[in-house]
Structure 1
Amino acid sequence: MTDHSGKKPHHHGDLRAALIQSGIDILTESGLEALTLRRCAARAGVSHAAPAHHFDGLSGLRAAIAKEGFDRFRTQMLRSRASGSQSPEGRILSLCRGYLDFAVENPALFALIFSCGPMSQFEEDMKAGTATAYGVLRETCAPFVPEGADPLVVETQVWSLIHGFSHLFLAGTFGPDSGPPDHHRLFAPVMALLREIGTPPAPK
């Protein structure tokens, strides 16, 4: 007889959340390739058929994990933004620190949230308010948008800068470095480009 005593029972209402957390744990420990419905079920202590009641296959599970990942991403950016100077410049730099910290602390989850479909979650976030991850970026960039200009220009400048830096950092492009990622010797000089955000290009 199989011993199920080690499994943790889950009420129907929180099984979906338990499966999502199990998926995040698997991502953290073993990477994206290890994420399967069967492994999530085993991790949550339920039958391998249980995820079918909550997700439309593996793609549905990945999408649900990505949504939770974006929520956590937003929370980290908000926390980081609140921890530094509350000047417009300080807030945008602190947000970038939170962005990088999330990527470094959650590399597999970071990869998933930006690879789950055609970035559908982030694209939807761009249409919403500050309750979304993109909304936090948009709100923080707002003071730098020149009157009458398209906010997406400034938002894309900031997003490209910190997203690109985060990916290069994770890839080891900058080489080994000790200490927090935002203390890397290249972080401050690269983020200094934020001072130019929203300023028109010099005439040729």
Structure 2
Amino acid sequence: MNELDTGLRARLIEVGVDLVTREGIQSLSLREIARQAGVSHGAPRRYFPTHLALLSAIARQGFAELTVTVTEAVGDSRASPRAQLMTLGRIYLDFALTNRGMFELMFRHDLLESNQLGLRETSLPLFEVLVDLVARARPRSAPAPPVVAGALWANLHGIAQLWVWGSLQLAAGVDDIEPLLRAVLDAHLGPETR
């Protein structure tokens, strides 16, 4: 691929990221991405053989952004592993609530199932940070840290989704995610000891 091709490919992804951020997942048609990028409606097919491949490339950007944000926030921290997990949880939930279109795209079943561009594997660096923090927070835990991390991730994802729908606020009678996040950590790591 020459420099011009690489630039146009990157531009199509950039336009898709911008569209999903501003207008949501429903705006990501090939035609609209091409129009916003200033190319013919057939041009994206030159770089992405399917619509799913282009959507996967856009979703990879979301995973990359979230992973960098989390890694920077917890990587050099002198805080305890539990405090770092709290930070990770806050970042994850904030990302889900402020980047709803991207968050929805990143976890779309058809994209993950097709695994275009290795999309599933794109989430692994973020999950590895979570596993490492769980292992440090619960050094001799049973079940194993990847299992606890998986359950913790599932809880965070569920909180994000139910919060977006407004169901969690209604059912739990809360207007702040923080108590829910603390409850999730207590459930998976045990109560915090001082």
Q: TM-score, normalised by structure 1?
A: 0.75
Match of 2:155 in 1: 161
Inter-partner Cα distance in structure 1 for 2:77 and 2:168: 25
Q: Is the Cα contact below 8 Å between 2:17 and 2:61 reproduced in 1?
A: no
For the pair shown, which has the larger CA radius of gyration, 1 or 2?
Answer: 1
Which residue of the partner structure matches residue 137 of structure 1? 130
Select which of 164, 174, 191 maps to 2:181.
Answer: 191
Q: How does 1:47-196 map to 2 (within 5 A)?
A: 47-81=40-74, 86-115=79-108, 116-118=111-113, 120=115, 123-125=120-122, 132-143=125-136, 144=138, 146=140, 149-175=143-169, 185-193=175-183, 194-196=185-187
Corresponding residue SS for 1:48: coil
Point out the structure with the larger helix share.
Answer: 2
Shift of 1:157: 2.4
| Inter-CA distance 125–27: structure 2 relative to 1 (3 Å threshold) | closer
User: Structure 1 residues 81, 141: closer, same or farther in 2, change over 3 A?
Assistant: same
Distance 1:46 1:160, change over 3 A: same
Code of the aligned partner of 1:187 = I
Q: What is the identity, as a one-letter code, of the residue corresponding to 2:105?
A: L
For residue 140 of structure 1, report the CA deviation from its aligned partner: 2.1
Q: What CA distance in whole angstroms lies between the structure 2 residues aligned with 1:27 and 1:13?
A: 21
Could you tell me which runs of 5 or more consecutive residues in structure 1 were left unpaired when the two chains were aligned.
Answer: 1-9, 177-183, 200-204
Give the Cα–Cα distance (whole angstroms) in 2 for the partners of residues 68 and 25 of structure 1: 11
Q: Distance in 1 between matches of 2:83 and 2:168?
A: 25
* Other structure's SS at 1:49 match: coil
Please tell me whether the aligned partners of residues 60 and 122 of structure 2 are also in contact (alpha carbons under 8 angstroms): no
- 2:39 is paired with a residue whose SS is coil
Contact 1:84 1:94 (8 Å CA) reproduced: no
How many equivalent residue pairs? 179
Residues 84 and 90 in structure 1, CA contact (< 8 A), matched pair in contact too: no
Indicate conservation of the 8 Å contact 1:70/1:113, yes or no. Answer: yes
Deviates more, 1:134-143 or 1:107-116: 134-143
SS at match of 2:112: coil
Looking at structure 2, the residues matched to 112 and 17 of structure 1 have their Cα atoms a distance apart, in angstroms, of 18
Report the CA distance between 1:44 and its aligned residue. Answer: 1.2
Task: Name the SS of the counterpart of 2:40 in structure 1.
Answer: coil
Long gaps (5+) in structure 2: none
| Local SS of the residue matching 1:24 | helix
Percentage identity across paired residues of the two chains: 30
Structure 2 Cα separation of the partners of residues 50 and 12 of structure 1: 11
8 Å contact from structure 1 (residues 142, 151) kept in 2 = yes
User: 1:122, 1:134 within 8 Å by CA — same for their partners in 2?
Assistant: no
Residues 37 and 125 of structure 1, relative CA distance in 2, 3 Å threshold: closer
